[in-house]
C-alpha cells in the first residue's frame, strides 16, 4: 500500500464520516473536503498524530454560495494534504490555527483582508497585505468586487 | 513591567539598510533587541486578483513578474499546476530545459545574495567579486532565453526555446569558470576569520524553531532541516538528477552562507548532468485554450525555498483562483526569532540572511538611438568595456590581473 493510501485508510478508520471524502489526485497530492464542525478534530489529528507538521499555506476563495478555505499541510515536505472547509457566505467565520502554526498569522490576515473572513482567535496586529488606508469592508478577492475610482478610496 | 530604558525604533518602510519596502519596529534595551515586529505588504500589487481576469497564457507572463530574481520559479510552478489540471504530458526535453534554467537562476540568485551579505558586513570587495562573476551567468541566461531577467522560457505544455549544441558548449564553458570562482568563495567562507567571526552565532534559529516556525529553503537547511522540494517532491527533471541536499548544523548566518555556496557546486553538477543527459525530442505539447475544471497544488524549490502555487480552474479560459505563497512569507516569522536578544548591529545581516526577495531591475542590451543630436547607439560589448574603464579610472577598481589569470586558465 502506498503512503498516500495508508494516510487515506488511517483517516477513514479514525473518522468514519470521512469515507469517500479523501481523494488521492496523484502521488504526493491528497485533497479532502470536510464539514466545518468537524474541521478542528481532523486538523488536530493530522498535525499532532500524523505528523503533518508543515503548513505550506492557506488558500481562501470565494465560491459565490460559500467561501472555501484550504489548509495545505505537508508531512516531511513530501506529501501535501489539502484540507478544505466550506463556510457560510453571509457570516464567514473560522477558528485561527496560529496555536498550531505561528506562520499561519500572515496567511490568516490575508483571509481577513482579501476575502473578509473573520478569523476567531487571531491575535491583534497590523493588517496584511492591504494598505492601512484601504477601507475595512472592501475585500478585493470576492467575486463581486469591482475596481473603484481613486476618489472612492480617498 | 515597563522599563524606562526601553526605546522603540521604527525602521522603514524606506530605510538605507533595507533593500525593499518593509518596516520593522524594534524595542531596544541599550544595544540589545528585546522585541521586534515586522510589517510587510507594501509591494502588494493584486496579482492574484488580476490572474482571475486574464487567460492562462497572459497569467503566465504576469506571474513571471511577481519577482525579478526567481521569475522562472514562479512561472514554472504556475505552468506545472495548469498542466496537471489539463492532464498534459510535458515532453522530457522541456522538463530538462526547465531544470537547466532553474539551476542557472539559482546560481545567479545565490551569487547575488553572497554579494549582498558581504555588503551588509562591510566586506564590499566580496560584493564586487561576486557580482562581477554573476555577470557570467547573466550572460548565459541572456544567451539561452534572450533576457537577463524574466526569461519567458515557459509556456503551458513545455518551453518556448530549445537549447542548441553551440549554446550548450557556451554554458559548459561558463560553468567551468563559475565553479573555479565558487571554490575560491568556499575557501573564503571556510577560512577567512573575518567572515567566520562576524557571522558565527549571529541570527541563531534552532532546528526546533526552524521546523515550528515553518522556515523553508537555505534558512531551514542551515538549521539542519534537510528539506528540499527538488528531492522530496521531484518536479521537472529533478527525479533523474544526482545531487545532495546541503545542510549545516550551526543554525546561524554563517551556516546560511556555507549552505548557499555549497549549493552552487551542486547546481554546477546538475547543469552538467542536464546537458549530458538531455533527451532529444519536442519541447512543447499543444495545450487547450480552455482548461477543464479542476485544481492542483504545485511546489517548486526556488533559490529562497519552497514556492507554493494553488490553481483552480472552472472550464473556461481564465482561472477561478490562483494562490501564490512565495518563500519569504514562510521565513518572515523566523526573522523575529533570530533577532530576539541580539545586537542592533546584527539586524541588517540577519534580515539579509533569509535572502528576502526584492525586485531586480532589467537592463537594456542595446541603447536605442532616440534621434536626438549627439545621441549614438552603443552595443553591449562597448558598454561593458566602458563601465570597466569608468571604475578603473574613478574608483581604482582594477581586475585586469585577475582577468588575465582566468583567460589563461580557461583559454577565453
Tell me if A100 sits within 8 A of A43, measured CB to CB.
yes
Which of B23, B80, B230, B297 to mutate against chain A (most A CBs within 10 Å)? B297
Please compute the mean of the pLDDT values over residues B50-55 and round it to a whole number.
94
Which residues on chain A place their C-beta less than 8 Å from a C-beta of chain B?
A: 25-26, 28-29, 31, 53-57, 59, 61, 70, 72, 76-78, 80, 82, 101-103, 105-107, 114, 125-131, 140-141, 145
Angle at CA of residue B358, ends B357 and B359, nearest 5°: 130
User: Which of 201-220 (B) contact A at CB < 8 A?
Assistant: 211-214
Asked if B332's CB is within 8 angstroms of A130's CB, the reply is no
Q: Do A78 and B323 touch (CB under 8 A)?
A: no
Q: Do A128 and B306 touch (CB under 8 A)?
A: no
Q: Which of A21-25, A143-147, B48-52 has the lowest mean pLDDT?
A: A143-147
What pLDDT is attached to residue B4?
A: 67
Higher per-residue confidence, B392 vs B171: B171
Closest to B199 (Cα-Cα) out of B256, B114, B129: B256
Q: What is the DSSP letter of B13?
A: S
The ipTM estimated for the assembled molecules is 0.95
Q: Do A25 and B296 touch (CB under 8 A)?
A: yes
> What string of DSSP letters covers B304-337?
TEEEEEEEEE-SSSSEEEEEEE-HHHHHHHHHHH
Q: Is the pLDDT of residue B363 over 80?
A: no
The H helix count followed by the E strand count for chain A is 4, 7
**Average pLDDT, integer, range B340-362:** 75
Q: pLDDT confidence of B360, banded at 50, 70, 90?
A: very low
In B187-245 the beta strands, taken as DSSP E runs, fall at none
pLDDT higher than threshold 70 for residue A150: no
Q: Specify the DSSP class assigned to residue A12.
A: H
In this predicted structure, the answer to whether residue B27 has a pLDDT above a threshold of 60 is yes
User: What is the number of other CB atoms lying within 10 angstroms of the CB of residue B165?
Assistant: 7
Cα separation, B388 vs B391, in Å, equals 5
Q: Is the pLDDT of residue B185 over 60?
A: yes
Mutate to test the interface with A, among B214, B230, B299, B313 (most CBs of A within 10 A): B214
Given a cut of 70, is residue B69 above it in pLDDT?
A: yes
Look at residue B369 and tell me whether its pLDDT is greater than 60. Answer: no
Domain spans in chain B, listed from the N-terminal domain onward: 6-39, 47-353, 367-412
Q: How many CB atoms lie within 10 A of CB B87?
A: 10
Q: Is B310 in Cβ contact with A140 (below 8 Å)?
A: no
Helices (H), B201-340: 207-212, 217-221, 229-232, 253-277, 327-339
Question: How distant is the Cα of B53 from the closest Cα of chain A, in angstroms?
Answer: 11
Contact yes or no for B354/B331 (Cβ under 8 A): yes
Q: How far apart are CA B250 and CA B74, in angstroms?
A: 30
DSSP B268: H
- Tell me the CATH architecture of domain B47-353: Orthogonal Bundle (1.10)
User: What pLDDT score was predicted for residue B361?
Assistant: 28
Least confidently predicted of A4-18, B106-120, B350-364:
B350-364
The answer to whether the predicted template modeling score (pTM) of the entire model surpasses 0.95 is no
**Chain segment B73-95, per-residue pLDDT in tens:** 999 999 999 999 999 999 999 99
Question: What is d(CA B303, CA B106) in angstroms, rounded to the nearest whole number?
Answer: 5
Predicted confidence (pLDDT) per residue in A95-149, tens digit: 999 999 998 999 999 999 999 999 999 998 888 888 888 998 899 999 999 877 6
- In chain A, what residues touch B234 (CB-CB under 8 Å)? none
Average pLDDT over residues B268-296: 97
Q: Could you give the 3-state DSSP secondary structure of residue B147?
A: coil
pLDDT of residue B81: 97
- pLDDT exceeds cutoff 50 at B164: yes
Please, which residues 332-391 of chain B have a Cβ atom closer than 8 Å to chain A? 332-333
* pLDDT > 90: percent of chain B: 67
Cell output for B111: 551569487
Contact B308, A57 (CB under 8 A): yes
pLDDT tens, position by position, B123-143: 999 999 999 999 999 999 999
Peptide bond into B270 cis (omega under 30): no
Per-residue model confidence (pLDDT) at position B371: 58
Output the CA–CA distances (angstroms, integers) from residue A107 to A72, A102, B180, B212, B310, in the order listed. 11, 10, 42, 16, 14
CA distances from B232 to A25, A75, A116 (A): 17, 10, 35
User: Closest by alpha carbon to B98, among B240, B215, B1, B203?
Assistant: B240
Q: How high is the pLDDT of residue B382?
A: 81
What are chain A's domains?
Answer: 3-153 (3.30.460.80)
The SS3 assignment for B50 reads: helix
Distance CA B123, CA B117 (A): 8
State the pLDDT confidence band at B397, using cuts at 50, 70 and 90.
confident
Residue B134's pLDDT is what?
A: 95
Residue B84 in contact with partner chain A when CB distance is under 8 A: yes
C-alpha cell at B16: 538605507
Nearest to B310 among A70, A78, A106 (CB): A70
Region B242-254: mean pLDDT is 96
Interface contact flag, A77 B306, Cβ < 8 Å: yes
Over residues A52-61, the pLDDT tens digits come to 999 999 999 9
What pLDDT band is residue B113 in, cutting at 50, 70 and 90? Answer: very high
- Lowest mean pLDDT across A76-80, A149-153, B282-286, B310-314: A149-153
Q: To which residue does cell 503551458 refer? A: B156
What H or E segment, with its residue span, contains residue B73? helix B71-86
Strands A93-95 and A118-120: what pairing? Answer: parallel
| CA-based nearest distance A12→chain B, Å | 23
Nearest-Cα distance to chain A for B298, in Å, is 9
**B84 to chain A nearest CA, in Å?**
9
* Residues of chain B positioned with their CB less than 8 A from the CB of A130: 41, 44
Residue B411, pLDDT > 70, answer: no
Residues of B in contact with A76 (CB under 8 A): 227, 232
Q: Are residues B130 and B114 in contact, defined by beta-carbon separation less than 8 angstroms?
A: yes
Residue B49 touches partner A, C-beta closer than 8 Å: yes
Amino acid at each position: 500500500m502506498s503512503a498516500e493510501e495508508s494516510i487515506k485508510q488511517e483517516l477513514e478508520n479514525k473518522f468514519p464520516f470521512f469515507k469517500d471524502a479523501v481523494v488521492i489526485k496523484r502521488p504526493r497530492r491528497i485533497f479532502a473536503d470536510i464539514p466545518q464542525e468537524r474541521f478542528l478534530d481532523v486538523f488536530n489529528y493530522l498535525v499532532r498524530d500524523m505528523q503533518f507538521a508543515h503548513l505550506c499555506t492557506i488558500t481562501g476563495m470565494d465560491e459565490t454560495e460559500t467561501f472555501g478555505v484550504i489548509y495545505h499541510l505537508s508531512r516531511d515536505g513530501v506529501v501535501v494534504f489539502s484540507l478544505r472547509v466550506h463556510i457560510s457566505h453571509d457570516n464567514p467565520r473560522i477558528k485561527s490555527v496560529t496555536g498550531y502554526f505561528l506562520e499561519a498569522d500572515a496567511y490568516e490576515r490575508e483571509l481577513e483582508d482579501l476575502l473578509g473572513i473573520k478569523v476567531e482567535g487571531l491575535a491583534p496586529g497590523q493588517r496584511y497585505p492591504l494598505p492601512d488606508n484601504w477601507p475595512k469592508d472592501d475585500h478585493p478577492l470576492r467575486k463581486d468586487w469591482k475596481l473603484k475610482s481613486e476618489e472612492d478610496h480617498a | 513591567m515597563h522599563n524606562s530604558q526601553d526605546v522603540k525604533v521604527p525602521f522603514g518602510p524606506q530605510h538605507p539598510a533595507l533593500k525593499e519596502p518593509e518596516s520593522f519596529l524594534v524595542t531596544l534595551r541599550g544595544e540589545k533587541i528585546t522585541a521586534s515586529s515586522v510589517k510587510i505588504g507594501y509591494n502588494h500589487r493584486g496579482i492574484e486578483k488580476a490572474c482571475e481576469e486574464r487567460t492562462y497564457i497572459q497569467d503566465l507572463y504576469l506571474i513571471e513578474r511577481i519577482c525579478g530574481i526567481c521569475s522562472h520559479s514562479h512561472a514554472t510552478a504556475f505552468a506545472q499546476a495548469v498542466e496537471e489540471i489539463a492532464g498534459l504530458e510535458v515532453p522530457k526535453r522541456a522538463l530538462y530545459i526547465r531544470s537547466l534554467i532553474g539551476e542557472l537562476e539559482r546560481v545567479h540568485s545565490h551569487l547575488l545574495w553572497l554579494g549582498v551579505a558581504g555588503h551588509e558586513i562591510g566586506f564590499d570587495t566580496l560584493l564586487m567579486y561576486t557580482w562581477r562573476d554573476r555577470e557570467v551567468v547573466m550572460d548565459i541566461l541572456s544567451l539561452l532565453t534572450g533576457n537577463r531577467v524574466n526569461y519567458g522560457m515557459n509556456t503551458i505544455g513545455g518551453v518556448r526555446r530549445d537549447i542548441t549544441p553551440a549554446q550548450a558548449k557556451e554554458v559548459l564553458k561558463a560553468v567551468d569558470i563559475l565553479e573555479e570562482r565558487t571554490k575560491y568563495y568556499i575557501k573564503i567562507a571556510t577560512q577567512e576569520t573575518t567572515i567566520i567571526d562576524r557571522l558565527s552565532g549571529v541570527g541563531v534559529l534552532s532546528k526546533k524553531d526552524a521546523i515550528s516556525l515553518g522556515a523553508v529553503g537555505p534558512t531551514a537547511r542551515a538549521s539542519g532541516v534537510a528539506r528540499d522540494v527538488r528531492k522530496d517532491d521531484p518536479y521537472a527533471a529533478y527525479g533523474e538528477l544526482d545531487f545532495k541536499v546541503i545542510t549545516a548544523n550551526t543554525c546561524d548566518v554563517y551556516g546560511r552562507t556555507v549552505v548557499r555556496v555549497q549549493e552552487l557546486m551542486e547546481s554546477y553538477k546538475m547543469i552538467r548532468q542536464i546537458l549530458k543527459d538531455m533527451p532529444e525530442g519536442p519541447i512543447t505539447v499543444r495545450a487547450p485554450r480552455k482548461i477543464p475544471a479542476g485544481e492542483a497544488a504545485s511546489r517548486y524549490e526556488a533559490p529562497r525555498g519552497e514556492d507554493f502555487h494553488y490553481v483552480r480552474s472552472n472550464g473556461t479560459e481564465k482561472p477561478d483562483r490562483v494562490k501564490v505563497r512565495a518563500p519569504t512569507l514562510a521565513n518572515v516569522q523566523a526573522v523575529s526569532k533570530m533577532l530576539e536578544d541580539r545586537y542592533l548591529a546584527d539586524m541588517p545581516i540577519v534580515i539579509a540572511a533569509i535572502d528576502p526577495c526584492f525586485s531586480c531591475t532589467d537592463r537594456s542590451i542595446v541603447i536605442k538611438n532616440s534621434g536626438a543630436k549627439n545621441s549614438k547607439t552603443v552595443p553591449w560589448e562597448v558598454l561593458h568595456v566602458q563601465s570597466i574603464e569608468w571604475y578603473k579610472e574613478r574608483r581604482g577598481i582594477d581586475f585586469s590581473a585577475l582577468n588575465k589569470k582566468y583567460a589563461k586558465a580557461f583559454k577565453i
